[in-house]
Amino acid sequence: MMAKCDDHDFPCQSPEYDDFDKMAREELSQPLAANDLVNLSEYCMMIPVADDFVIGDLNHKIFLKTLKGQSGLYHLWTDYESCDDHETHTMLCAYVGKGPPDARIASHIKSKWPDGVLLYATFTKMNNRLAKYYEQLFLDCYDFTLNKAENSGTRALYAVWDSDRHHMGTHSNEVSGMSKIESFDDW
């Protein structure tokens, strides 16, 4: 029997980032691989953006609070497809940006993010010069529906996450520790 990912032709195992990685190796002495930036980033969380997805005080502001005071490269993702055969989730990147992620992502939620669409965010801390370089390299290699300026890339950027990363993210304990929810009555 054919696996769902083979039948529907989506990358659920090892998406290719060859063009990005090749360019980074040519231009930087110690480049980060695209895989590390999109699949292994230090921050990865589902960010509740619609009131239907908010439980108690767990709105987008509390999820972004763990990023306060940091700066670097961030990506905004949507669910693309899941593969039950391999227990992975393929994500489609809609936006790449740099800077302080808490303020920028909050702004994008208000001005760019479509209503009713689940938002996932990844973030890698780095200095502004490197973040600008990687942001532009992603824009040169990939097409992002919400990046209008300087976006010459033509291919979709996919990430592949296991179920834990997709459902729980990387900072669930920190986020829950900031919440004032103590019981079901607080919902």
Q: Grade residue 64 by pLDDT with cuts at 50, 70 and 90.
A: confident
- State residue 182's pLDDT score: 62
Domain limits for position 80:
11-170
Residue 98 is assigned to a structural domain of this protein: yes
What is the average pLDDT across 138-150? 92
Residue 27, pLDDT > 70, answer: yes
Give pLDDT tens digits for 29-61.
999 999 999 999 999 898 878 767 666 666 667
Pick the more confident residue, 4 or 155.
155
3-state secondary structure string across 39-108: HCCCEEEEECCCHHHCECCECHHHHHHHHCCCCEEEEEEEEEEEECCCCEEEEEEEEEEEECHHHHHHHH
Cβ within 8 Å of residue 135, ≥6 positions away:
73, 96, 97, 98
pTM higher than the cut 0.85: yes
Residue 187 is assigned to a structural domain of this protein: no
Residue 176 is assigned to a structural domain of this protein: no
Residue 175 is assigned to a structural domain of this protein: no
Residue 62 is assigned to a structural domain of this protein: yes
Residue 184 is assigned to a structural domain of this protein: no
Q: Say if CB 120 and CB 78 are below 8 A apart.
A: yes
- State residue 2's pLDDT score: 46
Residue 186 is assigned to a structural domain of this protein: no
Of the candidate ranges 59-63, 78-82, 93-97, 174-178, the one whose mean pLDDT is the lowest: 174-178
How many domains does the chain contain in total?
Answer: 1
Residue 25 is assigned to a structural domain of this protein: yes
CA end-to-end distance (rounded Å), the chain: 44
> Letter for the amino acid at 117?
V
Strands 72-83 and 88-99: antiparallel
